[in-house]
Amino acid sequence: MIYFRFVRVFLTSLTIFLPLLSNAMDIVRHPPPENRTDVRSHYYIDMMRLALDKTVELYGPYKQEAYAHVMPQSRSIASLRQGRHINILWTMTSMEREEQLLPVRIPLLKGLLGYRIFIIRQGDQARFNRVASVDDLRLLQAGQGHDWPDTSILEANGFSVIGSSSYEGLFQMLANNRFDYFPRGAHEPWAEVITYGNGELTIEKNFAIQYHSPSFFFVNKDDKYLAERIEVGLRLAIEDGSFDHLLHTHQVTSDIFKSANLSNRTIFRIKNPLLTEETKNVIWEKELWYQP
């Protein structure tokens, strides 16, 4: 809390000694949802808006908008790196992504994305009841996006992973016995089972995998101004409680606290080899992380 009070005092002083940084309106353009039924992005868009609202007095007005065309994650990253179409996105971090882009190192879900709860087929719970260790779980196959950092993390820890280029297709692949379980961030599986499960999928009840895998906002390497504005806004929101309020009450994330039941699940903790030293240092800022 001392750090956040310092931030507020510093910013108040800055508004006294500096003129407005720009009279022009900042245009903040982000990727649209991957499809019309995908509501996961709504949380990140609302968190972005919260950060921008917190900084209007210092940085001036802004306009937030979605790019007109849907882009898969890999194309969004390429577009941002090239300075085309968008100037911000949100994604799970990795060494490669932090080499290509400039991260705002505030975990947008306070680390909850790293608690992975499984979507499984209806009728398979008894099979998972027999899992007693990480080694047991390694005998089963997971499904993931082929370009997601999670795929590399799981494989580095000895898991068998089937990849797909289609987010929606992974649910049908699971239903068709192409793999055994689909690990999802703690806020994701409930809405996904309803939207994509077709009555064939359900949520595993007993355990979760955990690894540090924060999602950050990223901007172009040269856009230090936008990165600074977003970080200042997020830290102010953490200080005044509005960050936690959004996390606990948003329609996309509230299921973590209503349904995930993390404190009563067996947690298998594994290592994430994809974190940079700079991001590892963020782990020690306790205000940024959720502790179940």
Is 275 within 8 Å of 93 (Cβ atoms)? Answer: yes
Is 97 within 8 Å of 218 (Cβ atoms)? Answer: yes
- Give the burial class of 30: count Cβ atoms within 10 A of its Cβ; 0-12 exposed, 13-18 middle, 19 or more buried: buried
Whether the CA torsion 36, 74, 84, 237 is positive or negative: it is: positive
Is 213 within 8 Å of 34 (Cβ atoms)? Answer: no
Listed by start position, the domains of the chain span 2-111+215-258+275-288, 113-210
| Tens digits of pLDDT across the chain (292 residues) | 445 545 554 554 444 444 444 457 999 999 998 777 778 899 999 999 999 999 999 999 999 999 999 888 889 999 999 999 999 999 999 999 999 999 999 999 999 889 999 999 999 999 999 999 999 999 999 999 988 889 999 999 999 999 998 999 999 999 999 999 999 988 889 989 999 999 999 999 999 999 998 999 999 999 999 999 999 999 999 999 999 999 999 998 987 887 888 889 999 999 999 899 999 999 999 999 987 6
Q: Is the pTM of this model over 0.75?
A: yes
Is 279 within 8 Å of 105 (Cβ atoms)? Answer: yes
2-111+215-258+275-288 belongs to CATH 1.10.150.20: no
pLDDT of residue 225: 97
The DSSP secondary-structure symbol of 288 reads G
CATH superfamily membership of 113-210:
Periplasmic binding protein-like II (3.40.190.10)
| Distant-in-sequence contacts of 149-156, Cβ < 8 A, 24+ apart | 149/92, 149/93, 149/94, 149/97, 149/213, 149/274, 150/92, 150/116, 150/183, 150/213, 152/94, 152/273, 152/274, 153/211, 153/213, 153/270, 153/272, 153/273, 153/274, 154/183, 154/270, 156/271, 156/273
How far apart CA 81 and CA 14 sit, in angstroms, is: 31
Identical fold between 2-111+215-258+275-288 and 113-210: yes
